[in-house]
Amino acid sequence: MSAGCVRWVLSHAVRTVCGGSPVYTPPALRFTICSKRCNIIAASWRRSAFSTEVHNTEQTPATPKKKKQDPRANASISSIGRKIPERQIQVISAAGENLGVMHRADVIRMMDEEGLKLVLLSEHKDPPIYQLMSGKQIHEEQLKMREKKKAKAVPVQVKELSFSVGIASHDLTTKLKQVESWVEKKHHVKITLRAVRRESAFNLDAALEQIVEQMEVMVGFVSRPKVIRDGQAAVCILRPPSAKELSQKGKNKAAEAQPANSTSEAAQSETSPVGSTDTTQGSTQH
């Protein structure tokens, strides 16, 4: 077929596809045109089905992910101010009294009248529990929580010390000094007292307790002296004294000092009247 014929066939095919005037199309050419149309439709379908391009300009906003709630979120004490999200809340007074369920407007009015702040205690209750606190109370609670965190963060170290019953006094003093230094550094100390070989064992627990009493610093017991190894040894674990034990020791010292002062005052009161009578008698005789 010549080039002119091909050009004529193609021009008439284009006119037919684009909606031009109807012309006679041979069957072979009709088959070719239909096959081209099918190829175009299939190609457009593949692009629309497997293309990663987004043709819709209006994208739906992504739903924000909910943050995982930290169980330690309520581990801090702080005032929430005047923005109370709930309408009805359960309120505890500054003195610890349960005031029941109150409207947030009444709570805000009470805060303004008494000069208090509102602290969230438990948001998982229905209704949530809040407490009215002063600034001093909030500061004290924050200090307590910091001390608890420090106590949990610092692991307790256990030091060990062992000696026999026949230890020399000088060596015993040295070992007790070492125990005192460990206790002052907030360590626990495990002391083991061994019986002397080829000798009959005696009350090792009582002997160990007497040795602990010789220490110059105050200590507490994690476990008091007890006999182990079929009576061949005694063991105890010491710890730094607690604040309650230190305060009790201070009270005991004050109680012991008070009778001594009262006895000295009584002795002075007994001697002073005699002197006064002597001076009065001397003045009268003169």
Set out the domains of the chain in order of their start, with CATH numbers.
88-151 (3.10.20.80), 158-253 (3.30.110.10)
Residue 61: phi and psi, rounded to 5, are -65, 140
pLDDT at 159 over 60: yes
Query: For residues 132 and 266, which has the higher predicted lDDT (pLDDT)?
Result: 132
Give the C-alpha separation, 234 to 209, whole Å. 10
The pTM assigned to this predicted structure is 0.41
- Rounded to an integer, the average pLDDT of 246-263 is 75
- State the chain's mean pLDDT as an integer: 75
Cβ proximity of 234 and 208 under 8 Å: yes
- Rounded to an integer, the average pLDDT of 17-42 is 56
Run of H or E residues at 212: helix 204-213
Q: Concatenated DSSP letters for 33-93?
A: HHHHHHHHHHHHHHHHHH------S-PPPPPPPPPPPPTTGGGS--B-TT----SEEEEE-
- Rounded to an integer, the average pLDDT of 11-28 is 58
**Burial level of 2, CB count in 10 A (0-12/13-18/19+)?**
exposed
Share of the chain above pLDDT 70, in %: 62
- Rounded to an integer, the average pLDDT of 164-189 is 92
In terms of phi and psi (left: phi > 0; alpha: psi -120 to 50; beta: otherwise), the region of 222 is: alpha
Out of 81-95, 192-206, 258-272, least confident range: 258-272
pLDDT at position 235 = 94
Q: Which of 11-15, 74-78, 206-210, 227-231 has the highest mean pLDDT?
A: 206-210
